[in-house]
């Protein structure tokens, strides 16, 4: 596990953007699963402002780790946020954008998106492999849209699942834990003091942490990077054993 701690959310975005550009510029086709949320929004702004001409966007294919079951014009849509903050400002072919169709029937779309991943990505032991999966983490320890109350979805056979938000009841389509842990690289973007308690539990594997889906992120490649601001990292043991 590679922990990278920065002073604030802006510095996290800047450092992650530099990391992303390095990973994407291999000269090969690069498949990345995006995350929603406030920190990725800032990342996309930094990418477009400082790095838009430093990536061959023709070689980058964009997917999502999860999506709310809403139309792409809805303000809650991860796709809409990414379109406004990234795609509308870079030269990326429309064919390279592979959105989860949140307006479709959730179970049907989960099957369709799983099929898309199987077609587009190389498979490792039957599981599609991303070059990079970007994750956030909620205050409750959820990641992608696998929530603690549905942690059983983590290892189901289906590569994409329909999850339900524990409070709103909103349906979401999400990749499962097998897809996350098969990725060549996994990067967490976590900022804010409200995340500190769960960051400590997940990173230090404290008692009960296995109840949090984020604690189950353990890529087979061994390539797991945490990008944290000081607030999110505030509870971490400065001298881990």
Pairwise CA distance, residues 5 & 187, whole Å: 13
Please name the helix (run of DSSP H) or strand (run of DSSP E) that holds residue 12, with its range, or none: helix 9-24
Cβ 63 vs Cβ 32: under 8 Å: yes
- Residue 165: what pLDDT? 96
Q: What is the DSSP letter of 148?
A: G
| Residue appearing with tokens 């990973």 | 23
Rounded to the nearest 5°, which phi and psi values hold at 111? -65, -45
- Residue 58: what pLDDT? 97
- Residue 239: what pLDDT? 64
**pTM for this entry:** 0.96
- Residue 215: what pLDDT? 97
Kindly give the parts of the chain with pLDDT less than 50: 241
- Residue 79: what pLDDT? 98
| Residue appearing with tokens 């064919």 | 95
DSSP E strands in the chain: the ranges are 2-6, 30-34, 60-64, 66-68, 123-124, 127-128, 132-135, 160-164, 171-175, 186-190, 224-229
Q: Provide the CATH number for the domain formed by 2-229 in this structure.
A: 3.40.50.1360
Closest to 58 measured CA to CA, from 16, 19, 30:
30
Tokens of 219: 């890529």
In the chain the first and final C-alpha atoms are separated, in Å, by 14
**What pLDDT, in 10s, does the model give residues 174-193?**
999 999 999 999 999 999 99
């Amino acid at each position: 596990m590679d922990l990278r701690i920065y002073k604030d959310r802006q510095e996290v975005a800047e450092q992650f953007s530099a990391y992303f550009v390095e990973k994407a510029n291999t000269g090969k086709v690069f498949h990345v699963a995006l995350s929603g949320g406030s920190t990725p929004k800032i990342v996309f702004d930094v990418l477009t402002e400082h790095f838009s001409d430093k990536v061959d966007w023709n070689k980058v294919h964009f997917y999502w780790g999860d999506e709310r079951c809403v139309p792409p014009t809805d303000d809650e849509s991860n796709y809409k946020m990414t379109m406004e903050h990234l795609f509308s400002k870079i030269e990326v072919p429309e064919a390279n954008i592979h959105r989860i169709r949140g307006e479709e029937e959730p179970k049907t779309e989960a099957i369709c998106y799983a099929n898309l991943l199987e077609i587009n990505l190389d498979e490792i032991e039957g599981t599609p492999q991303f070059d990079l999966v970007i994750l956030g983490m909620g205050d409750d320890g959820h990641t992608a849209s696998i929530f603690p109350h549905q942690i059983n979805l983590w290892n189901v056979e289906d590569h994409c699942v329909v999850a339900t938000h524990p409070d709103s009841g909103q349906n979401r389509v999400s990749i499962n834990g097998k897809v996350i842990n098969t990725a060549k690289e996994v990067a967490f973007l976590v900022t804010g003091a409200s995340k500190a308690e769960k960051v400590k539990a997940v990173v230090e594997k404290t008692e009960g942490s296995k109840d949090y889906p984020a604690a189950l992120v353990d890529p087979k490649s061994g390539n797991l990077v945490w990008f944290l601001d000081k607030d999110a990292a505030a509870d971490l043991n400065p001298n881990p054993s």
